[in-house]
A and B are shown apart, each in its own frame.
Chain A
Amino acid sequence: MAKTFPFAAIVGQDEMGMALQIVAVDPTVGGVLVLGDRGTGKSTAVRALADLLPPIDVVQACPYGCSPKDSSGACDACAELKQNGKVKTAKRPVPVVDLPLGATEDRVVGALDLEKALSQGVKKFAPGLLAQANRGFLYIDEVNLLEDHLVDLLIDVAASGENVVEREGLSVRHPAKFVLIGSGNPEEGELRPQLLDRFGLSVEVRTPQDLDIRVQVVKRRDAFDRDPEGFKAQWSDANTKLRQRILKAQKSLPALEIPDDLLHTCAKVCHALGTDGLRAELTLMRATRAFAALSGAKKVSATHLRKIAPLALRHRLRRNPLDDTGSGERVQRCLQEVLG
């Protein structure tokens, strides 16, 4: 396992950090799309997520890492375990799975277990990356360069939360609920609108323009490269604090209500910007609520909305040939008009 940089030690990428924390608090917000220049620490931040999140309870021996509390019966492996007797619970870190660009379909959706097929002549399913990512994060670096057939596959699974395998004489379905995290440099290729839509939030990262911050980045990265273990130990307190904050937010989330007038505002903003469908409104609402929970607020307010709206909406705007302002600014302008 490659060593990961501590999340708390990341400097200068506040918006990206915030977006990742929001989806950690409420995975139903959807994925995060990180767009930006090279060498800005996109991958570093996403890979750091794994250390940040508290371990989850899983059904032992379930290849999909289902929750013991899950009684939906969507998982065949769990159902089988239950039939055979007691189900044991184990703790496991939240998975952050890297989907390499060159991954084959087999590797992603899962395929026939080659070892078993060869040695024992048994037909068995070997779960792929989608199974591994269940209840966690699936990270695709350079998502805009992903091959088309993999994009099709992801679009389907990300929407249904279930991976259906009908190939090689296998017929398997298993839960695959994950938060999709993509990063890329928009200059190298466009994202298909359908895939764009699967991302709840989008953030733009740039190299910090402040010299002090740059020096900090270099200093910390150098310290980490030199002694990864020591550096992680040094940051473990700060990381724990951040983890507590996320845990607390997760707990307070169900009790957090959104006032009706704020819901109206959400709808108005989305309408004024001409975003398609209800998904935008739903994402905006959920992300705002998760952000309020993270800030430790008792009530969701317009301040939270104002902060989150650009992240939740800017990648959903239609391109307007007669308006060349950035989409983030357009969202801000619209908020200004609606909120007054």
Chain B
Amino acid sequence: MRDAWDLAQLALLLLQVDPHSLGGVWLKAGYSPARQTWLAQLHALGLPVTRMPHHIDQERMLGGIDLSVTLAQGRVVEQMGLLAQADQGLVVVPMSEKLSPQTLAMLLQAHDQGQVHALAIGATHASRFGLVALDESQEDEPGVASKLKERLALWINIDAVDIAKSQEKIEHLSAHELAEVRALLVKIQPKEEEMRALCEVAFALGIDSMRAPLLALRLACVHAAIHDRAFLEEEDLRIAAQMVLSPRAISMPYNQDTESVPSPEPTPQPDTSNTEQDAEQEDAPTPPTTEPESLVDTILAAALASLPPKLLDQLLLGASKSKLQSSSGNSGQAHMSRQRGRPLSPRLGRPTSGARLHLLATLRAAAPKQKLRTKHAGQKIAIRTEDFYIQRFAHKAASCIIVAMDASGSAALARLAEAKGAVEILLQQSYARRDSVCVIAFRGAQAQTLLPATRSLVRAKKALAGLPGGGGTPIALALKHATEQAQALQRQGITPLLVMLSDGKANVTIDGVGGRTQAQADALQWAKQWATHGFTSLWIDTAVQPTGQAQELANVMQGRYLPMPYVASQRLADAMQFAHAR
């Protein structure tokens, strides 16, 4: 069994042979000797390596007008962009988890098409590069955007590699060897059964994207070429499954094949959506396959043996497929602003009403027109109002966690205490993130704001400590109140997130009177209301024996659901991260 470091070493070789078709590497590692060693080796591969800071501007990335030379020579001189310069080489992106959606979109467009369009000039250059995305995100931070990860064949995590191990270095290919391997690679024709095997394994692991089996196939071919073969062997497919497919696994395979495979972990009980899907897959008539079952089995076994340990936790948390990974790597909605935040690309406009002039872009716009303009004596540059570019910024909005506590009689006293404990952990978390907190309590015929949005941890704790229990469960009232709070917060530019602590057993209607049936209907209706606003939510089911009512409501709210038995401190914190990352 190869460990993470061996795979990381192998990845270097694979990357050297075919950086572009493999997409690249997602290297999850903090600053460590192992990472430094790996990066030094990467630079020694003989491929051109370009570093791209995550805050790079469009002009530099895609290319555009070279301002100083253009002004000096009186003709348009192009400045090559970084991505065009990196053609046939590698682009290293440190802190790739911080890439803005716009930068990321441009990067991936160039990567997908293998060419890049320069700004303002319209020239097109080849940009067939491999990406090395360095990810230093912490456990509790949203990581690299999934649309970036999904294009990279090699996912490597060397966080756990110690210094001694990191001394074992692989020899990279010499120029001569490289040419031979690349010549061999062209000749490899994968057989249909080999493609089928990879597709089948990807399918069994619940991987939906078609890129995964394609990248796995590509990797298998490169691996075969490195080992001086013009055909694929089982070993190549096993490595491909291990490196490409298993890190992407979404669900454990449920068919009978699994029983013959010694699973490294106890098979988890994933959430219902996964089970349903698997059931569907089993119902579908399986096409008659001619290839021996054993090929799929062995590859699947290889993939299972290297499943990431975190996967089980993620499945337990009931993270749905799409929500498992953050979409953009940003928490809090981004807002446009003229004064503060991360700079966006400048645009034409007058520097009025608080907008600041973008001097460089203005000069750039004016530069080519100098010959057209008659200059006054002594005037070096003629700038007109039509040249004005203004600065734009985007700043991240603050977020506020609305905690809605069920203090009714059905939330038995012991559970209430436990829930309070959970909320305290949550508050500590949010405090570290500089979010504000707002606490709502509901019981009997009312839902009230116990504590308006605050950043004071102490006040929030006090408000919770003094919370009495008893009475009916007015879920609908609570949701109505929470929706109103969320709307008010959003109007202030704050992104709301609701954490609901309740068993979901509604028995008080929206009008504050008893009646189980009507109360539940009301609750569902307000859950739908919540969902239509598109706010994020997390429902923690406080019932001793969850009956499914809370889960149903959480689903209707399109939020996350977490039964209390699983709310160990760390898991809760993780769940919060997931909810946030959306």
**Beta-carbon contact of B109 and A100 below 8 Å:** yes
Nearest CB of B to A133, in Å: 14
B292 → chain A, closest Cβ, in Å? Answer: 16
Given A39-B212, A209-B281, verify A117-B368 contact (CB < 8 Å).
yes
0/1 per residue, A90-109, Cβ < 8 Å to B?
00000000101111111100
B287 at the interface (CB under 8 A from A): yes
What is the CA–CA distance of A148 and B218 in the complex, to the nearest angstrom? 39
Instruction: Name the distance in Å between A125's Cβ and chain B's nearest Cβ.
Output: 13
Please name all residues of chain B whose beta carbon is closer than 8 Å to the beta carbon of A147 when the two chains form the complex: 102
Alpha-carbon distance A156/B213, docked complex (angstroms):
42
Q: Which residues of B contact A107 (CB under 8 A)?
A: 117, 119-120, 122
Q: Measured between C-beta atoms, what is the minimum distance from A207 to chain B in Å?
A: 4
Q: Does A219 contact B (CB under 8 A)?
A: yes
The CA-CA distance from A319 to B209 in the complex, in Å, is: 28
B214 surroundings in chain A (CB, below 8 A): 218, 221-222
* CB 8 Å contact bits of B117-160 with A (1 = contact, 0 = none): 10111100000000000000000000000110010000000000
- Contact among B112, B120, B198 with A43 in the assembled complex (CB-CB below 8 Å): B112
Binds A, one of B162-170, B474-482, B484-492, B525-533: B525-533
Q: Does B76 contact A (CB under 8 A)?
A: yes
Contacts of A211 in B (CB 8 A): 196, 199-200, 203, 286-287
Q: Which residues of A contact B200 (CB under 8 A)?
A: 211
Q: Within the assembled complex, what's the spacing in Å between the Cα atoms of A217 and B370?
A: 54
How many Å lie between the Cα of A187 and that of B347 in the bound state?
28
Given the known inter-chain contacts A112-B369, A119-B74, A145-B102, please indicate yes or no for A102 contacting B62, CB distance below 8 A. Answer: yes
Report yes or no: A2 in contact with B120, Cβ–Cβ below 8 A.
no
Q: For the complex, give the distance between the alpha carbons of A117 and B120 in Å.
A: 14
Question: Does B327 lie at the interface of the complex (its beta carbon under 8 Å from any beta carbon of A)?
Answer: yes
Cβ of A70 under 8 Å from chain B? no
CA distance A141 to B104 in the complex (A): 13
Contact present for B105 and A210 (CB under 8 Å) = no
On whether the beta carbons of B529 and A321 are closer than 8 Å, the reply is yes
B109 touches A141 (CB 8 A): yes
The residue in B102, B218, B345 that gathers the most chain A C-beta atoms within 10 A of its C-beta is: B102
* Complex CA distance for A147 and B336, rounded to whole angstroms: 11
Q: Which residues of B contact A340 (CB under 8 A)?
A: none
Name the residue among A101, A145, A190, A209 with the largest chain B CB count within 10 angstroms: A101
**Does B449 lie at the interface of the complex (its beta carbon under 8 Å from any beta carbon of A)?**
no
A86 at the interface (CB under 8 A from B): no
Question: Does A2 lie within 8 Å of B113, measured CB to CB?
Answer: yes
Closest chain A CB from B287 CB (angstroms): 5
Cβ–Cβ < 8 Å partners of B218 in chain A: 222, 225
Count of A residues near B, CB < 8 Å? 57
Q: Which residues of A contact B119 (CB under 8 A)?
A: 102-104, 107
Tell me which residues across on chain B come within 8 A of A209, comparing CB atoms: 280-281, 284
Q: Which residue of A lies closest to B58 (CB)?
A: A102
Task: Name the one of B105, B287, B327, B336 contacting A187, with C-beta atoms under 8 angstroms.
Answer: B327
A-chain residues with CB within 8 Å of residue B105 when the two chains form the complex = 101-102, 142, 145
Least CB distance, B269 to chain A, in whole angstroms: 23
Q: How far is the CA of A324 from the CA of B284 in the complex (A)?
A: 26
1/0 contact trace for A165-197 toward B, CB 8 Å?
001110000000000000001011010000000
| Contacting residues of chain B (332-356) with chain A, CB-CB under 8 angstroms | 336, 345, 347-348
Q: Does A214 contact B (CB under 8 A)?
A: yes
B102 touches A101 (CB 8 A): yes
Q: Is the CB of A39 within 8 A of B347?
A: no
> Closest Cβ of chain A: how far from B356's Cβ, in Å?
17
Q: Is there contact, CB below 8 Å, between A101 and B109?
A: yes
A115 to B78, CA, bound (A): 11
Chain B residues near A142 (CB-CB < 8 A) = 105
Known: A218-B214, A222-B214. A104 touches B386 (CB 8 A): no
Could you give 14 example pairs across A and B, Cβ below 8 Å?
A38-B147, A38-B211, A39-B210, A106-B120, A117-B368, A117-B369, A117-B372, A118-B368, A118-B370, A119-B75, A145-B101, A168-B386, A185-B147, A211-B196
The interface bits of chain A over 106-142 (1 if a CB of B lies within 8 angstroms of the residue's CB, else 0) are 1100011011011101010000000000000000011
**Cβ-based interface call for B514 (8 A):** no
Residues of A within 8 A of B114 (CB): 2
Judged by a CB distance under 8 angstroms, whether B4 is at the interface is: no
- B284: min CB distance to chain A, Å: 7
A119 to B73, CA, bound (A): 10
User: Closest 8 CB pairs between A and B?
Assistant: A39-B209, A39-B211, A121-B371, A102-B106, A101-B105, A114-B368, A207-B208, A321-B532
B217 adjacent to chain A (CB < 8 Å): yes
Contacts of B208 in A (CB 8 A): 37, 39, 206-207
Chain A residue nearest to B321 (CB atoms) is A37
A215 within 8 A of B: yes
CB contacts under 8 Å to B, within A139-166, are: 141-142, 145, 147-149
8 A Cβ contacts from B412-448 to A? none
Q: Counting CB contacts under 8 A, is B115 at the interface?
A: yes
CB distance from A43 to the nearest CB of B (A): 7
Tell me the residues in window 279-296 of chain A with beta carbons closer than 8 Å to chain B beta carbons: none
Interface size on B, residues (CB 8 A): 70
Q: Apart from A102-B105, A209-B281, what 14 extra A-B contacts exist at CB < 8 Å?
A: A2-B115, A38-B211, A39-B208, A39-B212, A102-B345, A107-B117, A112-B369, A118-B76, A118-B370, A123-B372, A188-B101, A219-B195, A321-B528, A324-B556
> Which residues of chain A (23-52) have a CB below 8 Å from chain B?
37-41, 43
Q: A107-B120, A119-B75, A225-B21 are in contact. Are A102 and B372 (CB under 8 A)?
A: no
- Chain A positions within 8 Å of B195 at CB level: 215, 218-219, 222
B window 358-376: CB within 8 A of A: 368-372
Cβ–Cβ < 8 Å partners of A39 in chain B = 150, 208-212
A141–B110 Cα distance when bound, in Å, is 12
| A212 lies within 8 A of chain B by Cβ | yes
Q: Collect the chain A residues with CB atoms within 8 Å of residue B190's CB.
A: 222
Question: In the bound complex, what is the Cα–Cα distance between A196 and B186 (angstroms)?
Answer: 44
Per the bound structure, the CA–CA distance linking A176 and B146 in Å amounts to: 36
> Contacts A2-B113, A321-B531; is A222 near B65 (CB within 8 Å)?
no
Task: Provide the B390-425 mask, 1 if CB < 8 A to any CB of A, else 0.
Answer: 000000000000000000000000000000000000
> Interface readout for B278-289 with A: 1 if CB under 8 Å, 0 if not?
001100101100
Residue from the list B102, B210, B529 in contact with A214, Cβ < 8 A: B210
Q: Return chain B residues, CB-CB under 8 Å to A222.
A: 190, 195, 214, 217-218
Is A322's beta carbon under 8 Å from chain B? yes
Contact indicator A319/B532 (Cβ below 8 Å): yes
| Residues of B contacting A187 in the complex (Cβ-Cβ under 8 angstroms) | 322, 327
CA distance A145 to B101 in the complex (A): 8
CA distance A322 to B532 in the complex (A): 10
Task: Decide: A114 near B120, CB < 8 A? Known: A211-B199, A319-B532.
Answer: yes
**A218 adjacent to B327 (CB under 8 Å):** no
A107 to B386, CA, bound (A): 17
